[in-house]
Structures are given as structure tokens and as C-alpha cells.
Amino acid sequence: MLNFSFQNQTRIHFGQGQISAVTNEIPLDAKVLVTYGGGSIKNNGVYDQVVNALKDHTWFEFSGIEPNPKYDTLMKAQAVIKEHGIDYLLAVGGGSVADGTKFIAAAALFEGDDPWDILVKQQKIESALPIGVILTLPATGSETNTNAVVTRDGNKLPFSSPVVRPQFAVLDPAVTLSLSDRQISNGVVDAFIHTMEQYLTYSVNGKVQDRFAEGLLQTLIEEGPKALQPESKDDLEVRANIMWSATMALNGLIGAGVPQDWSTHMIGHELTGSYGIDHARTLSIVLPAVMKVCQKAKHGKLLQYAQRIWQINTGSEDQQIVQAIKMTEDFFQRMGMPIRLSDVKLGEADIDLLLAKLESHGMLELGENKAISLAVSRQILTAAL
């Protein structure tokens, strides 16, 4: 196990009806800005629950935070914050709303010249407005972690700071019942691949971390498809298990003390940035190719994955691994996800642009061993054709 420091102080309120916990989480004298996306929360009852929870608070709202939240959109919130003296942000939505709200919170108290520097220069953030999150789409883990990704002009740029970790997060699985199949699929596969990025590296004999990761993978494999099937899609227990898995997949715990990869995400970001493909759908295309191209470097963990997750115990080690990759692809397809560039109408002609983007974003040494050069990224994208 590697040395590590770990802390996650976000208070979690999990379960049906927990949105009411917001009332006591946000100080009564705070001026609250409720941030959300395209307005689906007005159709599924969540907005009404928020209105009820904040009925004794002073609050305002800022809507229109889009998937892969845009810098220009988020900067518009600054005027609202200044006008009303906002001192608490309540994000109501999925990972994009949470991520966008983190950037809004950081930009509001940013003391540098230009908030853009937070992203483009990775300038350190000293403080941010406090944030609470009501999660409506389990996927990114953003509700309890320190990470966010913001898009500008086709560039997806991440930042991370302890000061933007939410104070609290409400996880009510009932609010996920109104999600579309596509949103559910994206969320389940996003959480699955977050787990894989922290698991599928090389072994440092972190037995707890490995088994926790495997527990999340197994749960997502079992419960994900049920959330799409007519006979079980309204099952709150299925939704609860998916929701808790997605939070645990990226709250820092399973990645503490073990190497991490994240090459699938970095390559995937370029597919979203250049072609607007849903984040999770880029991951389901890239991960199988990473598994194939990095089969040697990841041999030990791939074999463990084959045996523990897919119960593959016959054939040579390499055969077991090949079968496990195939079963991973089958799982993604069962979740309605693309697994090849051709599934999203991209081909060999697009690879040069993607590599140029990777290069321009400094993605020259990806992976747990920093061994994924641009040349290896080309192999990965080629394997994904």
C-alpha cells in the first residue's frame, strides 16, 4: 500500500425524503443561490421539495447549467452573486451542476486577475463559497469530492481544491426514478469507470481498496441493467445501490493508497470536447481499448478482475483477460453504451485531431506508469475504431 492522506468531511443524507435535511444544513441567515440545469427538477418534484425546504431562507436561483458546464454560462452567475450578496450555493442536479457550482463558488471569491486562470493556469484557490448538493443523477461523485471539470471552446479543463468540497450532499434515490434510460446508463458506466481508473493499475497489495473497488464494480454490474428493465426500473433499492456506489466510486476512499490511471478519462475528454459526445459514452469506447493496449502493464490486475468480477477461472491467464474485456464490453452494451468509435460515427480520420488536442492539453504521459505517450494514445484510439 502506498502512503496516503485522506479526508472527506462532506455530510451525507441518504434516502427517500432527505431533501428536507437542507433546511437545517444551511444557516438561516445565509443568502442562498440555488443552481440547476435545464429545468427537469421542475417536472419531477425536486424543485418543489427545495422550495419547501428553503421556505424560511432567503434564496435566489440560477438555472441553465448545461451538461459539460460552460465557462461562459458559469461566469454569468457572478453578477447574481454580487447583486444579492449570496453566501451559500445549493446545487440541485447531477455532476455537471455540481461541477459548475464548484467553479461558481471558487470564482466568486477568487483573488487573482481572472477566474479563467483557475482552469488554464491551475492557479491555487484559497477560498470558495460554501456549497451543498442535492444530487439528482448518480454518476460523477462530485457531490462529495473536490473535483470539477469546466468546458470552454471545446476544451474540457479540470480543477480540484479542498475548498470546493461540498459541506453536505443529499442523496435521495427516489429522485432518480425520473431519469431517462440514457442518463441512467451514463451514470452507471461513469461510476464503473471511475472505479476502474483507481483499480486497474498495478498491485500494491491494497487488499481493502481492491475489495471495496470490486464490491462497487459487482454492484454496478448487477444493479445497472435492472434500472433499465421495465420490471425493475422503479425499484428504489436498485436506485439506492446505484446511487451509493456512484458516490463511493469517487469520494477519494478507494483511490487512497493505490496507484491511479485516469488515461481513459483524459482521452475521453477530447471526444467530448471535439465532438460533444456524452462523457460516459466516451469512456465506454476508450476503456476497452486501454485494457487491450495496456494488457501487459495491467496483467496482474486484469487477471484479478477477470477472476473476481467475472468468475473466469479457466483457460490461460491471457485468455481469461481477453474474456474479461469481452464481458466488460458486453456489460457496456447491455447498458446501451457505444464501445467503438464507429458506434458514434467516428473513424480513423478523426484520430489526428484527437491526438493534436491531447498534445495541446499536455496529455503526453498518461496512466499509472506515465507510459501512455501520444504514440500509445494513438494505439488506443486505433484499437477503439
Which residues are near a second copy by CB under 8 A?
1-18, 21, 205-208, 210-212, 214-216, 218-219, 222-223, 237, 240-241, 244-245, 248, 256-257
Closest separation between CB of residue 8 and a second copy, Å? 7
Closest separation between CB of residue 216 and a second copy, Å? 7
Using the minimum distance from each CB to a second copy, give the nearer residue, 25 or 343: 25
Using the minimum distance from each CB to a second copy, give the nearer residue, 152 or 308: 308
Using CA atoms, how far residue 211 sits from 145, 221, 253, in Å, is: 21, 15, 12
Closest separation between CB of residue 223 and a second copy, Å? 7
Using the minimum distance from each CB to a second copy, give the nearer residue, 5 or 316: 5
Per-residue buried b or exposed e for 278-294, using 16+ beta carbons within 10 Å of the residue's own CB: bbbbbbbbbbbbbbbbb
Decide if 149 contacts 95 (C-beta within 8 A).
Answer: no
Residue that is written with C-alpha cell 494513438 in the block: 378
Cα torsion at 63, 66, 71, 72 (round to 10°)? -60
Using the minimum distance from each CB to a second copy, give the nearer residue, 193 or 248: 248
Q: Give the C-alpha separation, 77 to 73, whole Å.
A: 7
Question: Which 3 state secondary structure label does DSSP give 276?
Answer: coil
Using the minimum distance from each CB to a second copy, give the nearer residue, 166 or 273: 166
Amino acid at 276: G
Using the minimum distance from each CB to a second copy, give the nearer residue, 158 or 215: 215
Q: Give the C-alpha separation, 328 to 224, whole Å.
A: 13
Residue that is written with C-alpha cell 485531431 in the block: 353
Closest separation between CB of residue 270 and a second copy, Å? 32
Using the minimum distance from each CB to a second copy, give the nearer residue, 17 or 315: 17
- Crossing angle for the helix pair 279-293 and 317-334, to the nearest 10 degrees: 170
At 377, list the grid cell. 494514445
Which H or E element spans position 380? helix 374-383
Q: Give the C-alpha separation, 92 to 34, whole Å.
A: 7
Q: What's the length of the chain?
A: 385
DSSP code, position 59: E
Closest separation between CB of residue 7 and a second copy, Å? 4
Closest separation between CB of residue 79 and a second copy, Å? 34
Q: Give the C-alpha separation, 264 to 196, whole Å.
A: 10
At 209, list the grid cell. 481498496
Using the minimum distance from each CB to a second copy, give the nearer residue, 204 or 353: 204
Contacts 24+ apart (CB under 8 A), 108-115: 108/78, 108/81, 115/75
Using the minimum distance from each CB to a second copy, give the nearer residue, 195 or 282: 195
DSSP code, position 57: S
Closest separation between CB of residue 203 and a second copy, Å? 10
Closest separation between CB of residue 329 and a second copy, Å? 23
147 φ/ψ sector (left φ>0, alpha ψ -120 to 50, else beta): beta
Closest separation between CB of residue 129 and a second copy, Å? 19
